[in-house]
Copies of this chain bind each other. A is one copy, B any other.
Amino acid sequence: MHTLIGQSSKVEKWGVFELALRGPESGNPFYDVRFGARFAQGGTVIEARGFYDGEGVYRVRFMPPGEGAWEGVTFSNRPELDQFSCRLVAESPSEGNRGPVEVANTCHFSHRDGTPYYPFGSTSYGWAHQPDEFAERTLNALAEGGFNKFRTGIMPHYSEHSLSTASCFPFQGNDGSDWDLSRFNPEYFRMMERRIEGLLERNIEADLILFHPYSGPWNFGSLPDWADKAYLRYAVSRFAAYRNVWWSLANEYDLMPDKTVEDWHSLCRTVAEEDPYGHLLSIHNGVRLYEAWKPWITHACIQDGLAVEIPGRAVALRNAYMKPVIYDEVCYEGNFKDRWGDLSAEELVFRFWQGAISGTYVGHGEVVEHDGLGRDVVWTGIGGELQGRSAPRIAFLRKILEEGPGCGWEPLDPWWHTGMARKEDKTFLVYLGKDAPGSWEFRLPTKELVLPEGAEFRVELIDTWNMTVTPVAGVFTALRRDDYFYGDRGGGKVPLPSAPYMALRIRALEG
């Protein structure tokens, strides 16, 4: 047993501890050398696979899930890397570090420390491979836009634009086609790590797309199975210690003709088995939904043009899966002529509310062609600055959902009512969508709600587009009207401005 000296020995809980050793450079270190470490605290042992980072350097990373001392011991098939030990102390997490996000309350999420997490994500498929300075601007736009999740590809995204900007690739070999699939390019993965770290600094989850069908002649969507699996193991060994990582096995998995559904099951399982932390894992579809009930799928990630267009539809898949449902692609705000890229900001904001009121979540994307730059140079292609008008309204919705205690808004009476949700039986949201009534009669469905007779409520009017919250005069008092509804004892109504996109927040007064 060797003891390592000179390794950083303090790290925060859910931070990244890294141990580096020198090892063999000859042969193919990516394939010939097995290397990793076991980290133990009492009876808890976490086995992390290490990786070859080029130039004779081997690294293994560890995200301590608990505070206090941890002992690490390496293992390897090479004596130069085997049986080194180290000791580290995990300290209290710093501000903003709430731990990885996981499923909570069946269809919702929270951080490991218990803080509820409401995903408000955007998407730029080819962001990661842009120059650092441009990628940094995107990060700032993302944070200013109020987003807390970013879906982005690990593999480069082939386009006119990327032909001129892609400077390195995941595999060694000549740009274009002659890849040595048995040798990764550490520089490429280090770039990806800078991106993940940039998101982490801003408390943004990195929803990493592992495969996609957009690699053109680079062909990364049609690699042989051994290369796919090796790539997954390499990516997991490098990225899994970052607490903000989510695995998205693919974008539009069903548009990759060389892989069967069974292949996808196997690729999903590979990631789930390799990842010692159980990060969130899903897969995104084109037209055909993946089997989201599979045990390795933590939440459904859905593309569907209608999913949240139609009131009452979003809840159907939630009812089926009983897992969190993120409608990560519901068409984009944009000025494309394609039907998937021509939403008005109003329509996209409407869809976000539709998802939220159904106890599901929605993802943002933007394809606004601007400054004569063409289709390839838009937000959802590469990042940059947001051009659209939906982001501030989406951030406003995020604020509404996050306010108050409880974890997750649940549809009220999902068998019947489509526009009402509750949190902890204390707060209710009513979303009126495209309707523009002049008033709203106070009523709450009885089906999943038992209110004490005489319970009192205050109501606020939310203008979801203009982002205002206005208290409504008076107090409403619950009276059971019939089998299905509580009304207000005095028959009270909430006056409304006869405009679309209004919502109401109803809060119980503490009795």
A321 CB contacts on chain B under 8 angstroms:
320
Whether the pair A289, B320 counts as a contact (CB closer than 8 A) is yes
A484 within 8 Å of B (CB atoms) = yes
A31 within 8 A of B: no
CB distance from A79 to the nearest CB of B (A): 49
* Contact of B305 with A415 in the complex, beta carbons under 8 Å: yes
A306 to B418, CA, bound (A): 9
CB distance from A304 to the nearest CB of B (A): 6
Task: Pick the residue among B289, B316, B322, B415 that contacts A313 (CB under 8 A).
Answer: B316
Q: Are B293 and A415 in contact (CB under 8 A)?
A: no
Chain B residues in 8 Å Cβ range of A273: none
CB distance from A97 to the nearest CB of B (A): 36
Within 8 A of B (CB), among A319-347: 319-322, 338-339
A483 contacts partner chain B, Cβ-Cβ < 8 Å: yes
Whether a CB of chain B sits under 8 angstroms from the CB of A416 is yes
- Which of B288, B338, B415, B484 is A483 in contact with, Cβ under 8 Å? B338
In angstroms, Cα B293 to Cα A293, docked, is 8
User: CB-nearest residue of chain B relative to A292?
Assistant: B320
Per-position 1/0 for A285-302, Cβ under 8 A of B: 001110111000000000
Contact at A415–B320, with CB atoms within 8 Å?
no
Set B289, B322, B339: member contacting A416, Cβ < 8 A: B339
Does the CB pair A310–B416 fall under 8 Å?
no
The docked-state distance in angstroms from the alpha carbon of A313 to that of B306 is 9
Inter-chain contacts of A309 with B (CB < 8 A): 312
A89 within 8 A of B: no
A156 interface residue per 8 A CB criterion: no
Does chain B have a CB within 8 A of A311?
yes
A494 in contact (CB, < 8 A): no
User: Is A451 part of the binding interface, using a Cβ–Cβ cutoff of 8 Å?
Assistant: no
Tell me whether A415 and B304 are in contact (CB under 8 A).
yes
CA distance A293 to B306 in the complex (A): 23
Q: Is A317 located at the chain interface by the 8 A CB criterion?
A: yes
A307: min CB distance to chain B, Å: 8
B317 close to A416 (CB less than 8 A) = no
In the complex, chain B residues whose CB is within 8 Å of the CB of A291: 293
The residue of chain B having its C-beta at the shortest distance from the C-beta of A417 within the complex is: B306
Residue from A292, A307, A416, A483 having most chain B Cβ neighbours under 10 A: A416
Tell me the smallest distance from the CB of A313 to a CB of chain B, in Å.
Answer: 5
A314 (CB) vs chain B CBs: closest residue: B316
The answer to whether A289 touches B339 (Cβ under 8 A) is: no
Q: Contact check: which of B317, B338, B415 meets A316 at CB < 8 Å?
A: B317
Alpha-carbon distance between A287 and B320 when the two chains are bound, in angstroms: 11
Give the contacts of A272-288 with B (CB-CB under 8 A). 287-288
Contact A287 B483, beta carbon cutoff 8 Å: no
A318 to chain B, nearest CB (A): 10
**Shortest beta-carbon distance from A143 to chain B in Å:** 32
A320 to chain B, nearest CB (A): 5
**C-alpha spacing A310/B415, complex, angstroms:** 12
Q: Once bound together, how far apart are the Cα atoms of A395 and B287, in whole Å?
A: 33
For window 236-276 of A, CB contacts with B under 8 Å fall at: none
Smallest Cβ-Cβ distance to A287: which chain B residue: B415
- Taking CB atoms, residues of chain B closer than 8 Å to A483 are 338-339
Question: Is B339's CB under 8 angstroms from A484's CB?
Answer: yes
A484 to B321, CA, bound (A): 31
Distance in Å: Cβ of A12 to nearest Cβ of chain B: 40
- A68 and B125 CA atoms in complex are apart in Å by 62
Report B-chain residues with C-beta under 8 Å of the C-beta of A416: 305-306, 339
Q: How far is the CB of A411 from chain B (nearest CB, A)?
A: 11
Give bound CA distance, A484 to B342, whole Å: 14
CB neighbours of A312 from chain B (8 A): 306, 309-310, 313
Contacts of A288 in B (CB 8 A): 319, 322
With a cutoff of 8 Å between Cβ atoms, the chain B residues found around residue A319 in the complex are 288-289, 304
Nearest CB on B from A225, distance (A): 24
CA A292 – CA B293 in complex, angstroms? 10
A418 lies within 8 A of B304 (CB):
no
Residues of A whose CB lies within 8 Å of any CB of B are: 287-289, 291-293, 304-307, 309-313, 316-317, 319-322, 338-339, 414-416, 418, 483-484
Given contacts A288-B319, A313-B316, A339-B483, 7 further A-B contacts (CB under 8 A): A304-B415, A306-B312, A307-B316, A310-B310, A317-B317, A317-B320, A339-B416
List 8 contacting pairs A-B, 8 Å CB cutoff, sorted by A.
Answer: A293-B293, A306-B418, A307-B316, A310-B311, A312-B313, A313-B316, A316-B320, A320-B321
